Structure 1
Amino acid sequence: MTANIQAYLENIRKPWGQIYYDILFDQLQDIKGKRVLDFGSGFGLVANHLAKENQVLAVEPNEEMVTLRAKDHPYQQLVGSLEQLASLEDASFDVILCHNVLEYVEDRKLVLEEFTRLLKPRGLLSIVKHNEVGRVLQTVVFENNTQKALDLLAGQDLETHSMGLAQAYDLATAVEDLALEAQDYQGIRVFYGLQDNRFKSQEGWRESMLKMELAVCQQSPYRDMAFFQHYRLKRS
């Protein structure tokens, strides 16, 4: 296993990695009985979870991650990227997931155009993206790295565990001229990314922090300060 994939896998097994999925799964709990595409499915944690009550197709370019993927519940897995989307039929999905992916692709507009083509009318596009305010807050408070935060404010991209540089983008600009309408957004990692990791292994931390995160994830200004923002867009 390559070092960056190992670091990513170890990170999502930690309490602060697990709680991300606790929050996300709560925000996706209304997706039932749907045909779902998970683009950039990684280790398959979301695809596996949704496959309990949905028909799921997962697409991931990294073969190593696919080999290590979660598969407790049956779903279809493809290895690839944009070329796999091009092979799929128009209006064939009720829901498309694209979580923490668009930061790392150069052809962002092409991917969104394919999503628009693949979604059924009134279909749902779920996008999780980095939030610049939240990235700066965590860099200053958790990492205590003001120079890095100043670099982020100046437009420098952020290095992550496995995917390389995460490039910030404006979602409204990215979907401009597409038949996609933003409905609402929620915050993920409002508080827990600001705490020292020594607290996160304490008994009951994950449960109590989950309650706190869910209590504010739909409220401003909290969701506006979250490290991640989860947007729902409808296909017109």
Structure 2
Amino acid sequence: MPPDESPTVENAYNKLAQTYQTQEEDPYCADLEFPAMTELIPNPARKRVLDAGCGCGRYAEWLIEREADVLAADKSIKMLEQAKRRIGDRAEVRRADITEPLEFAADSEFDGIICGLSLHYVEDWRQAFTEFARILQPGGFLVFSAHHPVDEYIAFEAENYFETEQKRMTWSASGEEIDVPFYRRPFADVINPLIETGFRLDELVEPRPKETFKDRKPESYEKRMKQPTFLCIRASSSES
């Protein structure tokens, strides 16, 4: 099958949806990104939390198990179908695009927002952060993860670190190679949009793999102990 000349994130994830849950079992998720993220999330019990870019519902399920009131949102219809199968009627599931106004959400509706490995599909984060700030309670938390700018710069041999530019990852699903477009960016274009939209940076983590990563993927462990893979951040919305 010829490669898609103009792939979109939505189409790519619609194709990946049936097998995507296996990605959660990969050490890069299970033993690196996911534990770092969950350690950053404040106690979500009895809080209204948005899982933005929910995929097949990994974080939504984790939040529900900790007694959060969850709304899970994603643009991919097929990924939402997987999320609905996973969490059933334990949370509301909606189709939404974090690059556009989140019209389903009222001002100050949420106590927290989780956005796991979704923002690197967005070119300019200011729109997303502006909406997140609008729908969060004053002092509400935002916890997100993304590709690390240094890792992207090295892995994709970028000519100019300071540019924000679109690249493609190639994933495999059911024997088909699928191009997934994303944006690499300098570190400044991670932090400055957050501050410009009124957030306070509370904690920044460049996670290293758990010991279990070494057991499951020893060929990558030493490299990932020395070179960053993901960036995980917790921020708070303005109190004013």
TM-score by length of 2: 0.70
Q: Does 1:93 align with 2:106?
A: no
Q: Paired residue for 1:174?
A: 193
Percent identical residues: 21
What amino acid maps onto 1:92 in structure 2? E
Distance 1:95 1:154, change over 3 A: closer
Question: Is the CA contact 2:80–2:95 (under 8 Å) kept in the aligned structure 1?
Answer: yes
Q: Paired residue for 2:232?
A: 230
In 2, Cα distance between the equivalents of 1:153 and 1:126? Answer: 25
What amino acid maps onto 1:66 in structure 2? L
Q: Any stretches of 5+ residues in structure 2 without a counterpart?
A: 1-12, 172-177
Distance 1:191 1:41, change over 3 A: same
Q: Paired residue for 1:10?
A: 22
For the aligned residue pairs, the C-alpha RMSD in angstroms reads: 3.3
5 Å matches for 1:157-172?
Answer: 157-160=166-169, 161=171, 164-169=180-185, 170-172=189-191
Question: Is the CA contact 1:104–1:163 (under 8 Å) kept in the aligned structure 2?
Answer: no
Mean Cα deviation higher: 40-49 or 61-70: 61-70
In 1, Cα distance between the equivalents of 2:236 and 2:42? Answer: 17
Question: Is the CA contact 1:89–1:118 (under 8 Å) kept in the aligned structure 2?
Answer: yes
Deviations 1:121-179 (A, max 9, x none): 11111121221223356x3xxxxxxxx43558585544234782221232222234322
What amino acid maps onto 1:39 in structure 2? A
Secondary structure, in 3 states, of the residue corresponding to 1:46?
Answer: helix
In 1, Cα distance between the equivalents of 2:200 and 2:152? Answer: 25
Q: How far 1:24 sits from its partner (Å)?
A: 2.6
Q: How far 1:68 sits from its partner (Å)?
A: 1.4
Question: Is the CA contact 1:94–1:123 (under 8 Å) kept in the aligned structure 2?
Answer: yes
Deviations 1:44-69 (A, max 9, x none): 00011101221111111101111112
In 2, Cα distance between the equivalents of 1:9 and 1:25? Answer: 18
Q: Paired residue for 1:123?
A: 140
Deviations 1:156-215 (A, max 9, x none): 544234782221232222234322111111123x347xx89xx5169xxxxxx8xxx9xx
Q: Does 1:67 align with 2:67?
A: no
Q: Paired residue for 1:143?
A: none
TM-score by length of 1: 0.71
Question: Is the CA contact 1:59–1:84 (under 8 Å) kept in the aligned structure 2?
Answer: no
Distance 1:11 1:152, change over 3 A: farther
Question: Is the CA contact 1:191–1:226 (under 8 Å) kept in the aligned structure 2?
Answer: no
Q: How far 1:89 sits from its partner (Å)?
A: 0.9
Deviations 1:64-97 (A, max 9, x none): 1111122178111111224671231111111011
